[in-house]
Amino acid sequence: MDIHEDIARPELARMVRGRGRFVDDIKLPGMCFAAFVRSEVAHANVKSINVEEALKVPGAIGVITPDEVLPHVNPVRPAAPGSSEFARPYDRYPVPPRNGDGWKVNFVGDPIVAVAAETAHAAQDMVEAVVVEYAPLPTVGNVEQALAPDAPTLHAGMGDNIVFHREFGGGDVARAFRQADLTLEKTFRFPRQTAVPVETRGVIAHYDRGEERLSVWASCRSPHLVRTTISAVMRLPQHAVRVISPDVGGEFGIKGAAYPEGIVLAFLSRKIDRPVKWVEDRMENLLACGHAHEMVVEVSAAASSDGRILGVDAKVLVDQGAHTLGPTSAGLEPMTAGQSIVGPYRIDNFRCDAYGILTNKCPGAAYRGVGTVQGVFVIERMMDMVAARLGLDPAEVRMRNFIQPQDQPFNTSAGRLYDSGDYPDTLAKLLDVSGYERLRAAQAEARAQGELAGVGICCFVEHSSTGSQDYRRRGVYGMPAFDSATIKVDAGGNVLVAVSAKSTGQSHDSVFASLVARELGVPYETVKILEGDTDAVPFGAGTGVSRSAVSTGGAIRLAAQDIKRKAAEIARFFLEGEGEALEIADGQIYAAADPSRRVPFASVAAAAHDASRVVSLPDSIERGLQSTRTFDPPHQTFGHGAHLAFVRIDPETGIVKVEQYVCVEDCGTIIDHVIVDGQVVGGVALGIGNALHEELVYSESGDLLTGTFMDYLVPTAPDIPAIQTTHTETPSPFTEGGVKGVGEAGTVGAFTAVGNAVADALLPLGVEVTHPPVGPQRVWRLINSGAEAGGGQGN
């Protein structure tokens, strides 16, 4: 069912002409500009806020302070961590909460005051003129400090800083360790990273006092979820809030939540009675948008002498920062990392103790590969370590541990149900396509010359398309998991499809339009996709968890079936054949037995709207030709893959060069190869950046030291090798058409394939890689110290 033909892609045509429409491109009549005064101290009680001078700045319009917001809001939900039974509830507000006679701030960058002015420059001038007085509190800088018995607590009433805790697993771990021939104990430390879409966050809020209605233009991927949060927090009925998401300049997980800034902006607009725009600058984006991936994983593995992993015991400590922003509770990263540790392997005995921990750093958000990236790194590093200890080839150790295809669907000891996949076949294909033997020979040759070269493999499963059942299994409540599609055929036979998903670069316009065209049998050019406006599209979860192909695609298929049924019913009035089988193709409805008896789809559409000169429908036929359907993925799908990286390291500088990159991906039935390859290759590039360079570093006092693109390094073209992709297709038994998600697979595979390749290159030096990113500084230190280097790469 792949889209073979070279279709026009309207979403690309607009962009190459510079005719995209992003939040910052929108101007409303009377619009003014906002900026935020942000905390300069990591942990403090704000003693006083003085806005007097700010209001004297030329062009100043107004300010909004915490006390103007606090009496009028409910705590932020569903993003509040209390939405999971394993999470600790606390009240989170869009502004610093009252704390005695002051207000509590919890990270450098915490928004305190919003200002509005006639120009963006004047708004910055106002920010400079606001005076905030702080009474600093001791900083909680990392998970170890947060768990100390005498640690200061971030949120009143919690008693400690543990926001999520769940112990889970299966089998008998203690017995596995008693039977082991070999045990390994390691501690992995993962860096704090952030998504860095090239378009930063942006919001325009307009509270219309005439209509008593709030409109919010926001760069986000889930307009309905943002509306839900805004209406709940601001105590407005949902129909009094409209959220519009125009073109989104990338997001990679981070634009999923309703951010506090957007809610404060709505209050500001209501107060000053003007539309107000805020577009964050890059420094704000790195400082305060949302961070992810930072965690410590302590893991022990028990193995037999033939390389079988008998059991794994893991403790996952996720550094969530000051809050959790993700829409699915504080358990998102801890649970996903923990559950990912068993990977594509049959590990019957598994125990995980997963924690979400609060610290005085930027709040935690989702970022492509959420938790999976880290869980996979842990098990794949352990596979290599077992191989090294036993003198086996790393690929062979994996082959001995895989879940076999005949055992699918497979219930893992980590509490997941895998749907389908032939993992041994995928790895075999990778070894073949990459020329594994040849690469090992090249490595041996390099080693003989005293050079550092390494081969890294990563085998993984990637969950996607989380449904409501999956959320319930994870103990997450109040999180809608279905998506929706409305198909409306107009009297001219053109098809408008409004969906709850929101493209942030995944070409939904062309992918969904081809799906509709194929399902309905109408020309592609007659189909138009509409997204990103809660007034115009049906309610649904939106984009995320690599879900759109499965969930919105599923809803589209169901709605298209309704339309076909109705169209056939009406076509009978044209064809005058009772009960005979009809088919639709190429915009024609025809008798299956005699295709010459046909009627154009457009004529049927006209009749449905009482606009046909040929046929008048009887009263018993309901007018119109439209359907709205929802699809809740019945179960998560698990795509899988095997990636390989070949690297060389310059021992003088520690610079890692990725010379070859090969991946074999399986995301079930493929709808559109071009889009799938785009997701995989782009994901791999992101993963290579994550593995080699990206790290947010804080000082001991809680200041961000990597606040610009000169310090937070994202890969550019010279850093990324040619990436070779191959596919296998194992349809999911759980979804419409057998499709699975693919949005995060590339990132998951690349992070570990590169990490393992660097570790493999350094193996002769007797050092171990447990602390990515493995960029020049850390690698150089590893080479020169002969031991794992600690501390931030930027230090």
Partner 1 sequence: MMPLIEIRMTVNGREYGGRVESRLTLADFLRNELNLTGTHLGCEHGVCGACTILVDGEAVRSCLLLAVQADGATLMTVEGLADGDELHPLQAAFQENHALQCGFCTPGFLMTAYALLRDNPNPSESEVRQGIGGNICRCTGYAPIIRAIQQTGTV
User: Which residues are at the interface with partner 1 (CB under 8 A)?
Assistant: 9, 11-22, 24-25, 58-59, 120-121, 195-200, 247-250, 252, 281-282, 504-507, 674-675, 678, 681-686, 708-710, 714, 716-718, 720, 722-723, 746
Q: Which CB, 385 or 549, lies closer to partner 1? A: 549
Nearer to partner 1, 428 or 674 (CB): 674
Helix or strand (DSSP H, E) at 373: helix 372-390
The least CB distance from residue 638 to partner 1, in Å, is: 23
**202-208 and 213-218: which strand pairing?**
antiparallel
What count of other Cβ atoms lies within 10 Å of the Cβ of residue 483? Answer: 30
Sign (positive or negative) of CA dihedral 572, 574, 580, 581 = negative
Q: What is the rounded distance in angstroms from the CA atom of residue 485 to the CA atom of residue 497?
A: 7
CB 4, min distance to partner 1, A:
15
**Taking Cα atoms as reference points, which of 678, 525, 493 lies closest to residue 10?**
525
Q: How far is the CB of 198 from partner 1 (least distance, A)?
A: 4
Residue 545 DSSP one-character state = T
Q: Which stretches of 322-360 are assigned E, i.e. beta strand?
A: 349-358
Q: SS3 for 572-592, per residue?
A: HHHHCCCCCCEEEECCEEEEC
* Token representation of residue 231: 């209406």
Report helix, strand or coil for 762.
Answer: helix
Residue type present at position 58:
P
Token pair for 4? 């073979």
In the complex, what is the shortest distance from the CB of residue 119 to partner 1, in angstroms, rounded to a whole number?
Answer: 8
Q: What is the spatial distance between Cα 54 and Cα 69, in angstroms, rounded to a whole number? A: 19
Cβ-proximal residues to 647 (8 Å cutoff; 6+ apart), any chain: 453, 454, 456, 656, 657, 658, 659, 754, 757, 758, 761
CB of 747 to partner 1, least distance (A): 11
Judged by beta carbon, residue 115 or residue 769, the one nearer partner 1 is 115
Nearer to partner 1 by Cβ, of 16 and 448: the residue is 16
When the beta carbons of 268 and 684 are compared against partner 1, the nearer one is 684
Identity of the residue, 200 or 359, whose beta carbon is nearer to partner 1 in the bound complex: 200
- Rounded to a whole number of angstroms, the minimum distance from the CB of residue 432 to partner 1 is 22
Q: Collect all residues with Cβ–Cβ distance below 8 Å to 770 and sequence separation of at least 6.
A: 186, 187, 188, 189, 381, 788
Write down the least CB distance from residue 717 to partner 1, Å: 4
Question: Which of residues 121 and 239 has its CB atom nearest to partner 1 in the complex?
Answer: 121
Nearest Cα residue to 364 out of 336, 323, 334, 327: 323
- Cβ 678 to partner 1, closest distance in Å? 6
Residue 372 CB, nearest approach to partner 1 (Å): 19
What is the arrangement of strands in the sheet containing 111-117, beginning at the earlier edge strand? 60-64, 111-117, 32-38, 276-279, 202-208, 213-218, 241-244
Least distance in angstroms from the C-beta of 650 to partner 1: 18
User: Please, which residue, 605 or 704, has the CB nearer to partner 1?
Assistant: 704
Helix (H, G, I), strand (E, B) or coil at 11: helix
Q: Which of 170, 164, 184 is nearest to 83 (CA)?
A: 164
Q: How far is the CB of 251 from partner 1 (least distance, A)?
A: 8
Nearer to partner 1, 157 or 718 (CB): 718
User: CB-wise, 19 or 623, nearer to partner 1?
Assistant: 19
Q: Which is nearer to partner 1, 162 or 750 (CB)?
A: 750
380: CB partners within 8 A, 6+ apart: 343, 457, 458, 459, 460, 752, 755, 756
